[in-house]
Amino acid sequence: MAETLLITGGAGFIGSNLVHRWRGARPADRIVVLDLLTYAADPSQLDGLDGVELVPGDIQDQALVQSLLERHGIRRVLHLAAESHVDRSITGPAAFIQTNVLGTFALLEAARAVWVGQAGCRFLHVSTDEVYGSLGATGLFREDTPYRPNSPYSASKAASDHLVRAFVHTYGLDAVTTNCSNNYGPRQHREKLIPLAISRMAAGEPVPVYGDGLNVRDWLFVEDHCAGLMQVLDHGSQGETYNLGGGNEWRNLDLLHLLADLVDDALGRSRGTSRKLLTFVPDRAGHDRRYAIEAGKVEAELGWRAETEFEDGLGRTVAWYLGRNGS
Ligand SMILES: NC(=O)c1ccc[n+]([C@@H]2O[C@H](COP(=O)([O-])OP(=O)(O)OC[C@H]3O[C@@H](n4cnc5c(N)ncnc54)[C@H](O)[C@@H]3O)[C@@H](O)[C@H]2O)c1
């Protein structure tokens, strides 16, 4: 049966990919996007999409959220709105507490108030593997790994995860949480590692590499992530958390070498041109060394796994950003 959903942060990177995917898969549904349209948003990504209403506004505005839930009869919320950039959380943490903690709290309060006595209501909270802290050379984050957030960003996401958990246990709210690894793909803001590197390489400008470049991240193609979110929303169990990962660990330096070769190939340059632009810069304060996810639970219980080969996804990502650059 067709429904109207609320997607918060739907003008951001993952949110806009999710809106596109949802429209493609379930065209009868309607989507309300609530987004503050911060620097990170690109509302033009939603241009021309039928059945999508963009409401500019703050998730901290509980009255606005309640009115949207009531007016549109919304029973399912996908919550992606956040301040998401670790570097910005180091220089200006206040916005992270406001949006990620107080904003999530306002959404939960709105859902609790409006959904009383209604069946079929569900809140999907999208979070990060960064809440688990940093790994050494071995080991994987599991759903029962203790929380040890190290940055203001990850601490604010951890706080929001705890609020979701508390609303499930205290008020019986039907909520599920996903913690995922680093996403890559089209529509990401150029401040993030992969889009930044592609645009700098294309322009022949230095590409900053933090520290020794040996920090490890597990990369997940955004379309795979969005498929996982839909699966968890539809079939996850109330109160559960699911780790979504790509099983795809890369040291930053190795990733940048691969990316440099893909950019050179795409631009018809000789290989090595972009690699020469890599420039080591002082490390990020408190930079977590390694993240990696054990995604066996969501695979065993819900049948989701990341499907995109890294070189394929990265190649599509390079093509998308170079196309937008006009390079
Ligand atoms: N990008 C990743 O690699 C990654 C990895 C794990 C988890 N996540 C989580 O996924 C979610 C989406 O991440 P993203 O990379 O798409 O982020 P993004 O920064 O690209 O987009 C965030 C969106 O939220 C909006 N927003 C910010 N504050 C708001 C507020 N107060 N009210 C309403 N809207 C607001 C912004 O305008 C923007 O459109 C976040 O919760 C993030 O923590 C992201």
Distance 319 CA to ligand 1 centre (A): 23
Q: Is the CB of 200 under 6 A from ligand 1?
A: no
CATH of 4-187+221-248+288-308, one of 3.40.50.720, 1.10.1660.10, 3.40.630.10, 1.25.40.10: 3.40.50.720
**pLDDT of the residue at 326:** 43
pTM of structure: 0.97
Distance 243 CA to ligand 1 centre (A): 17
> What are the tens digits of pLDDT across the range 247-279?
999 999 999 999 999 999 999 999 999 999 999
Q: Which of 58, 83, 130, 288 is catalytic?
A: 130
- At 137, phi and psi to the nearest 5? -65, -25
Q: Is the CB of 102 under 6 A from ligand 1?
A: no
**pLDDT of the residue at 325:** 55
Is 129 marked active-site?
A: yes
Rounded mean pLDDT of the chain? 96
Q: Which of 83, 129, 161, 261 is catalytic?
A: 129
**Token digits of residue 303:** 């049948």
- 1 pLDDT band, cuts 50/70/90, is confident
Per-residue pLDDT, averaged over 138-160, amounts to 97
